[in-house]
């Protein structure tokens, strides 16, 4: 299981939980309209397809298409990197904002692959709710459970969507039992499928007992037609499929598996919906559930244990830095979650880490890699600050009363490679690229006097991160690289005195990470145990000590 370590940063005095002079009714009203959520799932559960289906039903796009889309259809909006489109998986997170009904939806797409768990964890620090997407035939898979554990730890309410009901899969009641057993949450279905998995005719809307019948569209490129039918008519037209679904829905009611908002927000229950995202079946219910039941932006806990009210002066924190989104300008964007107050383009804020003023001249709303100027934003919104070179992942910015939000963790690396420029004449491009990817948190960069600056060591949670580094170094920075695997399996934090002793062991290497942390890399757990036995006086600290584990 991947482990994390907290990054210590200077803390400033936390702001009071309630400051009457800072209250602003407009800010509170705008915050109430926001719904900021992420979709979490195991790879191939249909996350990118669901993202497009949500945008389609909200009329944010006019046509949906898979990553390998047919001619004339748009590619996946959230999967904008070339590697994502080529492989059909999400590698990096993307922020998408759109309106639905009278609400503003901020959807933060997350990487589906386990190798990018660190990026997903950062995204989950910036949202107020999560949609847990479950494949009807596979149930709760490994990566889904890891991400659910993070949501539970952070107190993020979870809405469950059973996807791919148009294909053969498990029985609906069996899936409810699995959710209760493995997550500890009581599933409270808002809709219930009519027809077994693979024969998706529609759903019972349990609040009204009406039948919502879906009609396929060509390739799922447009919203699926639906019609409401009374229970009496549905019983006549759908026969045994309706009777079975109605009986199961009644059984759920007898077991008190009905939605209760207070229990949902308390993390005791999870509303459940059934869908076939590729056909756009059941997607409208997901949007309505987000608007009706997902929490709006609320007061956020700061590093000192206080809370910054949403109607206080502006504050926000950086949960991601990304370059290469606009190949024409070669710029990079700091993704900022607005936590309180009104953000105004051009405002001068304070950078908590340095205490220095920071100008927000170039601010944008994001729609995948597409952008538009953001003149203002409100609690719950995601703002892209362009070329904000002073900002790093986990930084806080604020106006007025000082505040620092809790730092984001750095995962313990499990794979290590030394990297060198393929062309030594490209040293400047090589250095600039490695430093930028380190700045973004794409990879951990470690150096030593022995290896020199031309051969830094990269640390990663999963090997696919190295592929991203290779791809971006070549195409974004024009500096092709060569990488060589190192024979290390785990790392421990150490200090200068201990490093002098460890330096004499041929199967141990001490390197300094960019944040100043000294890391001792060990070839095997056996070598680590022997070192601890032979040198009990040295510091070898587990990187996950005191930190959460997804």
* 109 appears as a binding residue in the annotation: yes
Question: What is the separation of C-alpha 165 from the centre of its chain, rounded to a whole number of angstroms?
Answer: 25
* 128 appears as a binding residue in the annotation: no
Asked if residues 4 and 542 have their Cβ atoms less than 8 Å apart, the reply is no
* 329 appears as a binding residue in the annotation: no
* 110 appears as a binding residue in the annotation: yes
> What one-character-per-residue DSSP string does 202-229 give?
EEEETTTTEEEEEE--GGG-SPPEEEEE
Could you give the 3-state DSSP secondary structure of residue 243? helix
Whose tokens are 């949450």? That residue is 185
Tokens of 511: 């390197």
- Long-range CB pairs of 325-333 (<8 Å, 24+ gap) are 325/80, 325/369, 326/369, 326/371, 330/476, 331/386, 331/387, 332/386, 332/387, 332/389, 332/436, 332/440, 333/364, 333/366, 333/384, 333/385, 333/386, 333/388
Strand 103-109 and strand 34-40: the pairing is parallel
Tokens of 536: 């009990």
Spatial separation of the C-alpha atoms in residues 291 and 296, rounded to whole Å: 9
CA distances (Å), 435 to each of 66, 327, 456, in order? Answer: 34, 19, 10
Strand 158-163 and strand 269-274: the pairing is parallel
* 113 appears as a binding residue in the annotation: yes
Instruction: Pick the closest to residue 271 from 297, 289, 253, 246 (CA basis).
Output: 289
Q: Summarize the annotated binding site for GTP as residue ranges.
A: 109-113
Annotated binding site: 109-113
């Amino acid at each position: 299981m991947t482990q994390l370590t907290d990054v210590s940063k200077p803390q400033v005095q936390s702001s009071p939980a309630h400051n009457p002079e800072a209250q602003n009714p407009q800010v509170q009203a705008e915050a109430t309209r926001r719904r900021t959520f992420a979709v979490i799932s195991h790879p191939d559960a249909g996350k990118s397809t669901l993202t497009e289906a949500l945008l389609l039903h909200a009329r944010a796009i006019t046509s949906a298409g898979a990553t390998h889309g047919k001619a004339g259809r748009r590619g996946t909006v959230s999967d904008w990197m070339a590697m994502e489109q080529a492989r059909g998986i999400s590698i990096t997170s993307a922020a998408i904002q759109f309106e639905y009904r009278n609400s503003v939806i901020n959807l933060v797409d997350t990487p589906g692959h386990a190798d990018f768990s660190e990026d997903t964890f950062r995204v989950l620090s910036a949202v107020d709710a999560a949609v847990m997407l479950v494949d009807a035939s596979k149930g709760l898979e490994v990566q889904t459970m890891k991400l659910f554990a993070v949501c539970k730890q952070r107190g993020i309410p979870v809405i469950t969507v059973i996807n791919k009901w148009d294909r053969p899969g498990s029985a609906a009641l069996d899936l409810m039992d699995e959710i209760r057993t493995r997550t500890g949450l009581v599933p409270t279905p808002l809709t219930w499928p009519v027809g077994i998995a693979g024969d998706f005719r529609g759903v019972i809307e349990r609040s009204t007992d009406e039948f919502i019948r879906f009609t396929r569209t060509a390739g799922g490129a447009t919203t699926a037609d639906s019609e409401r039918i009374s229970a009496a008519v549905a019983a006549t037209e759908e026969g045994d499929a309706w009777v079975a679904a109605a009986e199961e829905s009644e059984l759920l009611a007898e077991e008190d598996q009905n939605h209760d908002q207070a229990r949902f927000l308390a993390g005791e229950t999870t509303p459940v919906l059934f869908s076939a995202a590729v056909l756009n079946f059941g997607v409208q219910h997901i949007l309505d559930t987000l608007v009706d039941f997902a929490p709006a932006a609320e007061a956020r806990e700061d590093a000192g244990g206080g809370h910054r009210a949403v109607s206080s002066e502006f504050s926000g924190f950086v949960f991601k830095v990304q370059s290469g989104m606009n190949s024409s300008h070669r710029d990079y964007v700091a993704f900022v979650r607005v936590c309180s107050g009104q953000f105004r383009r051009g405002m001068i804020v304070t950078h908590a880490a340095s205490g220095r003023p920071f100008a927000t001249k170039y601010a944008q709303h994001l729609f995948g890699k597409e952008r538009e100027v953001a003149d203002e934003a409100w609690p719950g919104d995601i703002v892209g600050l362009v070329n904000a070179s002073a900002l790093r992942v986990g930084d806080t910015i604020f106006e007025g009363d000082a505040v620092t939000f809790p730092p984001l963790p750095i995962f313990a690396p499990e794979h290590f490679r030394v990297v060198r420029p393929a062309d030594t004449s490209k040293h400047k491009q090589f250095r600039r690229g490695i430093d930028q990817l380190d700045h973004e948190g794409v990879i951990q960069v470690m150096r030593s006097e022995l290896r020199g600056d031309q051969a830094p060591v990269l640390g990663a949670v999963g090997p696919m991160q190295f592929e991203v580094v290779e791809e971006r170094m070549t195409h974004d920075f024009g500096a092709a690289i060569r990488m060589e695997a190192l024979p290390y399996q785990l790392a421990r934090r150490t200090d200068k005195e201990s490093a002098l002793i460890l330096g004499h062991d041929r199967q141990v290497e001490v390197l300094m990470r960019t944040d100043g942390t000294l890391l001792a890399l060990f070839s095997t757990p056996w070598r680590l145990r022997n070192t601890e036995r032979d040198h009990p006086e040295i510091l070898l600290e587990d990187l996950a000590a005191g930190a959460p584990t997804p």
